[in-house]
């Protein structure tokens, strides 16, 4: 967010989610983040996601 100079509100808007949902995503102690939320965050921040199971 810092590199792209995005506020939490602006990033949440681009992710089509709420700022509180973004706060939950950014909280390292929150383990209930969905894959869809991670995918949206990666898309907005121009990153990719790799998911492995097992």
Tell me whether residue 28 is in a domain: yes
Is 21 exposed, middle or buried, given 0-12, 13-18 or 19+ CB atoms closer than 10 A?
middle
User: What is the pTM for the complete model shown?
Assistant: 0.69
Per-residue pLDDT at 2 exceeds 80: no
Per the structure, the complete domain to which residue 12 belongs is given by 8-44
Tell me whether residue 1 is in a domain: no
Please give the residue that has the higher pLDDT: either 1 or 12: 12
Tell me whether residue 13 is in a domain: yes
Tell me whether residue 3 is in a domain: no
Tell me whether residue 51 is in a domain: no
Tell me whether residue 49 is in a domain: no
State the pLDDT at residue 44: 85
Tell me whether residue 34 is in a domain: yes
**8-54, pLDDT tens digit by residue?**
999 999 988 999 999 999 999 998 888 888 888 888 887 777 777 77
Tell me whether residue 15 is in a domain: yes
């Amino acid at each position: 967010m810092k590199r792209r100079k995005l506020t939490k509100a602006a990033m949440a808007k681009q992710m089509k989610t709420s700022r509180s949902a973004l706060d939950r995503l950014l909280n390292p102690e929150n383990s209930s983040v969905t894959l869809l939320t991670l995918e949206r965050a990666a898309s907005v921040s121009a990153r990719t996601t790799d998911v492995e199971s097992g």
